[in-house]
Amino acid sequence: MSGREGGGRGRGRGRGRGGGGQTPAPDAGRGQQASRGRGGGGGPGRGGRGGYNAPPSTSLSVSATPFQPSLSETAASLPHEMEQKLTLEASTPAPAPQVPLNPPDLPPASSKAIRHPKRPGFGTFGKKVLVKANHFLVAVAERDLNHYDVSISPEVASKKVCREIMNQLVETYKDSHLGKRRLAYDGRKSCYTAGALPFDSKDFVVELVDNDSQSRRERKFKVSIKFASKPDLHHLQQFIQGRQLDVPQETIQLFDVVLRARPSKSCVVVGRSFFSPMLGDIGELGNGLMYWKGFYQSLRPTQMGLSLNIDMSARAFFEPILVLDYVAKYINRDPTRSLSDQDRIKVKRALKGVRVEIQHQGHIRRHKIGSITSQSTQQLMFPLDDTGNMISVVQYFREKYNIHLRYPSLPAVQAGSDTKPIYLPMELCRIVEGQRYSRKLNERQVSALLKATCQRPEDREKSIIKMAGYNNYNQDELVNKEFGIQVRPELTSIEARVLPPPTLKYHASGEKSVVAPSVGQWNMIDKKMINGGKVEFWACINFSKSNNVGKFCDDLIDMCCSKGMECNRQPLVPIRTPRQGPIEKALFDIEADTSAKLAQLNMTGKQLQLLIVILPDFSGSYGTIKRVCETELGIVSQCCQPKNVARSNKQYLENVSLKINAKVGGRNSVLQEALNGRLAYLSDRPTIVFGADVTHPQPGEDSSPSIAAVVASMDWPEVTKYRGLVSAQAHREEIIQDLYSKKEDPKRGTVHGGMIRELLVSFYKSTKLKPHRIIFYRDGVSEGQFSQVLLHEMDAIRKACVSIEENYLPRVTFIVVQKRHHTRLFAANHRDRNTTDRSGNILPGTVVDTKICHPNEFDFYLCSHAGIQGTSRPTHYHVLHDENNFSADGLQILTNSLCYTYARCTRSVSIVPPAYYAHHAAFRARYYIEGSDFSDSESSVSGPGRATREKNKEVRPLPTIKDSVKDVMFYI
């Protein structure tokens, strides 16, 4: 008898959550014995959550004997129509529908063999609403399309120079040799034509004036153009119609290059974005930087056809000012007297690779900065000629150019090479306009950039339409007349759906134990945490000058207790206020003091459970505190800013209490639907939800490793507690390397490890259940990496599972989470308060899986959060592998519901929490290797002219996180 056939809705004496019917079902519900089910047995029970009868489970010790993961061959299933019919109405809880299970697929041998799952249908659940997307429909006329390979010698690194060469070639040879064809050139190795050129292969000589040379000499280049292929427009049409699975990348690339040709000539190109002072306001960001506005543009195949995605963009650039003025702004003081060694090194790092121009010779010459000299211009000597006569920079400029340097105590800019250096005074060098700043901005600059570019949805929509009109695609000779491309002038209208929010369950002792969020928000008034944590031993250390710390701690502990936690009202030791000495020493001292106090109280085996840290008044210590507490002392810490301590605001205290509760092992709230067994694809069988992300070093940093993080849920069916693991890997490596590992040990034999295996075992230890389903949310993967990441990471997941027990193959759904895209969704009517939130953005729960989505594959856009300021960015979810037979509604509802379980606040969030947590964990781990706030640190970087990255360099492992910290959500 299946679980579905057992117990009805009668009110029986059974109290457990499990089984049904008269047959024990060890894996039904939460795995409790059937005799304790809410319904079940033969009596008038209330009816269990159903579930299914998996094979009997053996009582196991994970450390000694592998658990039994085999799935039932006779798992009950509902017809597909029932599977799609999901309801969230407030009614008597119904069991989540059973999902048919197919045998899991074995991973393909190579990325070329990978086929991502086709869309299982379109979602139907939710309230229908009309939205607009910043996608412009593109129509293409029939043309004889041709692709040619381009080779330029001597080789040129700059795309800008390559374009100048090709522009000169067209101007010189268009009528005589090119058959009057216009070329669409990508700036590298390819060009495209509408109509064949009158040759298959030909070499050209192009002369280009070198503006950077002293004599403005003409440089000669040999350009070879050779026929490569004929892009297939029919293939593209078949792909968009769903009749062809292979992406016609060459054809899409051709049209993308054509549409980018015009702005590439007049703008600074950064990736797929274009910037120019002519495209909008410019302004200062501070420290010698400014912002330029521009636009992002990308051509994509979608369900409605080719779509041109256009969005507003902004970027930091160097101000085109004298190097002397830049240095003054960068170090924020008058540099004209002299530079300290520390300041000189900072300036050297900031300016390395930056191009400057000088005019003292009567014409403009350009150089690239290689270094800043350690000697001043009056001290710096160099050989004047082959005789070995030495002369100072100051003397040389006075005698050669009659220029009397005003600041001889400053160092010189060094250009040229180390063997043939060129020394230039800072006061004569001007930074060339249009150079993007590629390093990480500081907090003030980020704030200034956001303030300058933040736009309400209605204003952003207008800016996008204006930018599309400015580009004037349909009047462009190359775009419209040559290649027959037409771009619709209006945004795309889409019928979206707004999913209702889930119901949240709090503790029954509060006045309000069940909450229905409104527009993605709720509060903790009259509510108590569903599982309040216990903090018996805590302490506080104050690194600030605040005198309000005692009251603040009292208020914070009172708040924790009022919200359902069980906390000792008094700290284990008096509040410590170290005024001098290293922060590390102060942390070790308080740990020693609290350990001594516990020993004095005969609390053997006990340790400090929470350390409240009031941060110093200056920034830069947060990373050190977290590294010491988590990797050396094994203490869970909660850091607080001095300004918040001074205010002691109730809302702030409430938010901190939520974080503390999660950090000490409590739960703030859970999904009511999960508890009632009504959340499809989660409640019907033990399910573990993973989140994974890789964070990379800041731009320009060439030696630091990338950090991978994986988190996994440790409770079921609640799915609120996530254990996190982190690992360092090669610089800029996107594929997670430590998901599974296998080593041979002389004593123990084969030793299996890796983050997936460890988290699966932890799930079993925590729940005494065996994960039958894996839902894997993977953040940070670009489209070009989909197949490679899936191939390697699915293989690692499979190997990790089988290493636990032979033939253990839980069904896996692998979903990529993408936030770094440029699709924006706007309300059809910005003044309709029924379809917008207070910020003017679309409502939380808005989902789109038609028109602008992939022609064949399973993807959707979900805006799961309420906007605060600016224009909300929906998250794009793309299913790369699915063995759990998700319906469109099923995955969309599950993902949206999980977005209401983020532990840090009483708002739904924009990214599914496991992916969000993985990001936090990876970000936290970078502190372990950088020591302090790397956002404020001066790391050894090379500027735009980067050195070769040492990707194969041996990676230094991260410090080990102590078990007492690793077992809780330390990273939030």
Task: Give the tens place of pLDDT for each residue, 912-931.
Answer: 999 999 999 999 999 998 75
pLDDT for position 98? 57
pLDDT of residue 412: 97
Q: Which of 161-170, 277-286, 699-708 has the lowest mean pLDDT?
A: 699-708
- What's the mean pLDDT in 788-811? 96
| Region 670-933: CATH code | 3.30.420.10
565, 533 in Cβ contact below 8 A? yes
Confidence check: pLDDT of 323 > 90: yes
On whether the CB atoms of residues 65 and 52 are closer than 8 A, the answer is no
pLDDT band, residue 41 (cuts 50/70/90):
very low
Region of 9 (left: φ > 0; alpha: ψ -120 to 50; beta: rest) is alpha
pLDDT range class, residue 56, cuts 50, 70, 90: very low
**Residue partners of 446: CB distance under 8 A and separation at least 6:** none
In this predicted structure, the answer to whether residue 554 has a pLDDT above a threshold of 50 is: yes
Quick one: pLDDT at residue 386? 78
Q: Say yes or no to pLDDT of 904 above 90.
A: yes
Cis peptide before 686 (omega within 30 of 0): no
Whether the predicted pLDDT of 76 surpasses 80 = no
Per-residue confidence (pLDDT) for residue 935, from 0 to 100: 37
- Residue 58: is its pLDDT beyond 70? no
Report whether pLDDT(614) > 50: yes
Instruction: Give the residue-averaged pLDDT of 731-744.
Output: 96
Distance separating alpha carbons of residues 769 and 764, to the nearest angstrom: 5
Contact 725, 947 (CB under 8 A): no
CA dihedral over 599, 601, 605, 611, signed as positive or negative: negative
Mean pLDDT rounded to a whole number for the chain: 88
The pLDDT tens digits for 399-451 are: 999 999 999 999 999 999 988 999 999 999 999 999 999 998 999 999 999 99
pLDDT for the residue 462:
97
Identify the pLDDT of residue 324: 96
Average pLDDT over residues 13-35: 38
Q: What is the DSSP letter of 785?
A: G
Q: Is the pLDDT of residue 758 over 50?
A: yes
Distance CA(262)–CA(98), nearest Å, equals 55
Q: Pick from 917, 941, 951: which is nearest to 712 by CA?
A: 917
Listed residue (77, 223, 217) closest to 156, CA to CA: 223
Backbone angles phi, psi at 651, to 5 degrees: -65, -40
Give residue 216's pLDDT.
Answer: 58
Q: Which pLDDT score is estimated for 114?
A: 76
Place 944 in a pLDDT band, splitting at 50, 70 and 90.
very low
Question: What pLDDT, on a 0 to 100 scale, did the predictor assign at position 353?
Answer: 95
pLDDT for 337: 77
CATH superfamily of 532-663: Response regulator (3.40.50.2300)
> Quick one: angle between helices 755-767 and 786-804, nearest 10?
50
What pLDDT shows up at residue 209? 80
Q: How confident is the model at residue 45 (pLDDT cuts 50, 70, 90)?
A: very low
Chain segment 388-406, per-residue pLDDT in tens:
789 999 999 999 999 999 9
**Which has more pLDDT, 557 or 361?**
557
- Among left, alpha and beta (phi > 0; psi -120 to 50; other), residue 602 is left
pLDDT band at 67 (very low <50, low <70, confident <90, very high): very low
When comparing pLDDT for 962 and 618, which is higher? 962
Across 787-810, average pLDDT? 96
Question: 878 or 56, which is more confident?
Answer: 878
Confidence of residue 97 (pLDDT cuts 50, 70, 90): low
Residue 768 is predicted with a pLDDT of: 96
The domain spans of the chain are 1-85, 135-141+238-318+437-490, 145-229, 323-432, 532-663, 670-933
Percent of the chain clearing pLDDT 90 (strictly above): 78
Rounded mean pLDDT of 717-732?
97
Q: What is the mean pLDDT of residues 166-184?
A: 95
pLDDT for position 579: 82
pLDDT for residue 38 is more than 50: no
The residue-averaged pLDDT of 536-554 equals: 96
Tell me what pLDDT residue 92 has: 37
For the stretch 192-227, pLDDT in tens is 999 999 999 999 999 998 765 555 578 999 999 999
CA-CA distance, 579 to 570, in Å (whole number)?
Answer: 23
Region 348-371: what's the mean pLDDT?
92
Predicted local confidence at residue 634, as pLDDT: 97
Euclidean distance between CA atoms 742 and 796, whole angstroms: 11
Q: Percent of the chain scored above 70 by pLDDT?
A: 85
Closest CA to 967 of 768, 718, 723: 723
Q: How confident is the model at residue 360 (pLDDT cuts 50, 70, 90)?
A: confident
Q: Could you give the CA distance from residue 956 to residue 839 in angstroms, rounded to a whole number?
A: 45
Helices 650-663 & 549-562 angle (0-180, nearest 10):
70
- Measured CA to CA, the distance from residue 859 to residue 876 in angstroms comes to 7
Please return the burial class of 110, using the count of CB atoms within 10 Å of its CB with bins 0-12, 13-18 and 19+: exposed
pLDDT for residue 355 is more than 80: yes
Tallying the residues shown for the chain, one arrives at: 972
| 206 beta partners | 221
Domain spanning 323-432, CATH class: mainly beta
Mean pLDDT computed over 501-519: 96
Q: Looking at the predicted structure, is the pLDDT value of residue 29 above 60? A: no
* Among the ranges given (38-52, 228-242, 245-259, 858-872), the one the predictor scored with the smallest mean pLDDT: 38-52
d(CA 458, CA 469): 17
pLDDT tens figures, 873-883: 999 999 999 99
Q: Domain spanning 135-141+238-318+437-490 has what CATH number?
A: 3.30.530
Question: Contact 845/837 with Cβ under 8 angstroms?
Answer: no
Per-residue b/e over 333-363, b at no fewer than 16 CB within 10 Å? eebeeebeeebbebbbbbbbbbbbbbeeeee
